[in-house]
Amino acid sequence: MKYETFPNLTLPKIGFGTWKIGGESFPNPKMDSVSLSALRSALELGYTHIDTAENYANGHSEELIGQVVREMRVQRESLFITSKVEPEHLKYEQVLKACQACLRRLQMDYIDLYLIHWPSVGMKLEDTFRALNKLVKDGKVKHLGVSNFDVKLLKQSQALSETPIITNQVPYSISNRSYVKNGVLEYCQQNNILLTAYSPVDQGRFRLNPTLESIAKARSATSYQIAIAWLVMQPRVITIPMSFNPSHIKENLEAADILLSDEEMKQLS
């Protein structure tokens, strides 16, 4: 595994995403069994960073994560749990309430990283960060971050947060470079902020291309692994692929061990 380090924090380059765990916008009991198996596989294989959100299956994803952690008796301190407050809950009282509900669903005492999921029209970031700063002071949240923020909003967040903004979680993959084009990747790298790449394999709609395929063949890896390895070879970039399939869950984690050459990185970039 490769890691990103800060003075008070070490994070693995690859974590486990949970969009669709337990359902999509609403809980889907038919998905519980396959969702619990995927979470068990991820923890057994050694994933320690789990990414979720209050609106994944309307909170049910968080409930299932909590259930598996308790059932497998995983030490809380060995995990790094990220969750997110949704754009409809960005007022001071709403943020405090949303975090409390998240902790109740996880049945945990703290969240390692709490993100603003999306900016919303008319949000008052001062108000939101007043609540987020309180959550950190109260020990309910260890670190703060944002998601889907452009450079301007990221700078505002840094100015309002009493602790460093450790990540901006945005879409980034071989085929989606929008947050490179808008300057977010470069800003993050220059300012010690992690760029957490979501949808790293384009939500399964990943398109193969000859460069990927030839590098994958030469390295006896899959194209998915090369696409993930390309992300995590980049400084200050981490990623959180999601899968229900145990062999995909394993191969995605192992992608962190692939060391691409400068030439291969250039070809893929």
Ligand X SMILES: NC(=O)c1ccc[n+]([C@@H]2O[C@H](COP(=O)([O-])OP(=O)(O)OC[C@H]3O[C@@H](n4cnc5c(N)ncnc54)[C@H](OP(=O)(O)O)[C@@H]3O)[C@@H](O)[C@H]2O)c1
Q: Quick count: other Cβ atoms within 10 Å of Cβ 104?
A: 13
**Least distance to ligand X, CB of residue 188, Å:** 15
Distance between CA 168 and CA 145 in Å, rounded?
Answer: 6
| Angle subtended at Cα 52 by Cα 48 and Cα 55, rounded to the nearest 5 degrees | 170
> 160 near 126, Cβ under 8 Å?
yes
127-138 core/surface letters (b: 16 or more CB in 10 A; e: else): bbbebbbbbbee
Is 56 an annotated catalytic residue?
A: yes
Cα–Cα distance for residue pair 13/5, rounded to 1 Å: 10
By beta-carbon proximity to ligand X, the closer residue of 185 and 262 is 185
Place of tokens 């990540």: 167
**DSSP state at residue 92:** H
Catalytic residue among 56, 172, 198, 224: 56
Q: Which residue has the tokens 């995403």?
A: 17
In the complex, least distance from residue 186 CB atom to ligand X, rounded to whole angstroms: 20
Report the residue number, 17 or 263, with the smaller CB distance to ligand X. Answer: 17
Residue nearest to ligand X (CB): 17
Q: Which is nearer to ligand X, 140 or 248 (CB)?
A: 248
| Least separation in angstroms between CB 232 and ligand X | 13
List residues binding ligand X (CB under 6 A). 17-19, 51, 117, 147-148, 169, 198-204, 224, 240-245, 248, 251-252
Shortest reach from residue 164's CB to ligand X, in Å? 19
Distance of alpha carbon 226 from alpha carbon 249, whole angstroms = 14
Q: Which is nearer to ligand X, 96 or 216 (CB)?
A: 216
Catalytic residues: 56
